[in-house]
């Protein structure tokens, strides 16, 4: 089976391809000659995921899926959530985002957080949603070099290493994206 993953994020594409290896062939936007920036203006993870998938379906006609992921921190009332990738501003980078979060949580005892991924699938003119979540906490300093985004400061529940210290193989087995993707794969293999 082949399906398009509507993302311009090479890290997410690589992660999903590793998770679905030998099960489903994941086509990138480049594989379908889409080089446009896909709008992402929703106020929820579900809205953004569906918006991205719908853009590809409408413009190219392919069955496809898209995801949106947010880091939700209890002490920040669930922020940055849907705005995780631009937490420190529109032209920020992951370092800027982590530094802002560490500043805002300085001295905070409640550092509980969770990563949440929502995948929207458009298949045979039907919408389907799959969600994955992993709890953890934001540590006080960056540790590790693997992964991307907030991985160096996110310590998943039950582990003594951050996502960035666990390495991609281990992270890809336990992450929020892995949980949502496994639900997607199970659904696709049944349909």
Residue 117 is inside which H or E element, if any?
strand 112-123
The answer to whether the CB of 2 falls within 8 A of the CB of 13 is no
Provide the 10 A C-beta neighbour count for residue 127: 12
Tell me whether residue 68 is one of the annotated catalytic residues: yes
Q: How far is CA 112 from the centre of its chain?
A: 18
Q: Which of 14, 22, 63, 68 is catalytic?
A: 68
Distance CA 44, CA 42 (A): 6
Inter-residue contact 22 to 187 (CB < 8 Å): no
In angstroms, what is the C-alpha Rg of the chain?
A: 16
Alpha-carbon distance of 18 to 55, in angstroms, equals: 25
Helices marked H in 21-162 — which ranges? Answer: 45-60, 94-104
Whole-number Å distance between alpha carbons of 34 and 74: 37
**Could you give the residue numbers annotated as active site?**
68
């Amino acid at each position: 089976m082949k399906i398009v993953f509507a993302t311009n994020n090479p890290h997410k594409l690589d992660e999903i391809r590793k998770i679905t290896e030998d099960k489903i062939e994941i086509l990138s936007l480049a594989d379908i000659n889409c080089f446009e920036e896909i709008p992402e203006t929703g106020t929820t993870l579900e809205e953004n995921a569906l918006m991205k998938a719908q853009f590809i379906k409408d413009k190219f006609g392919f069955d496809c899926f898209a995801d949106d992921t947010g880091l939700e921190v209890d002490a920040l009332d669930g922020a940055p959530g849907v705005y995780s990738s631009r937490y420190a501003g529109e032209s920020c980078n992951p370092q800027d985002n982590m530094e802002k979060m560490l500043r805002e949580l300085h001295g905070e005892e409640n550092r509980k957080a969770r990563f949440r991924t929502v995948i929207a699938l458009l298949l045979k003119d039907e919408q389907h949603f799959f969600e994955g979540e992993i709890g953890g906490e934001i540590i006080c300093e960056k540790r590790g070099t693997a992964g991307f985004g907030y991985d160096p400061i996110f310590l998943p529940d039950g582990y003594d290493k951050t996502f960035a210290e666990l390495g991609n193989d281990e992270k890809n087995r336990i992450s929020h994206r892995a949980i949502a993707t496994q639900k997607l794969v199970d659904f696709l293999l049944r349909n």
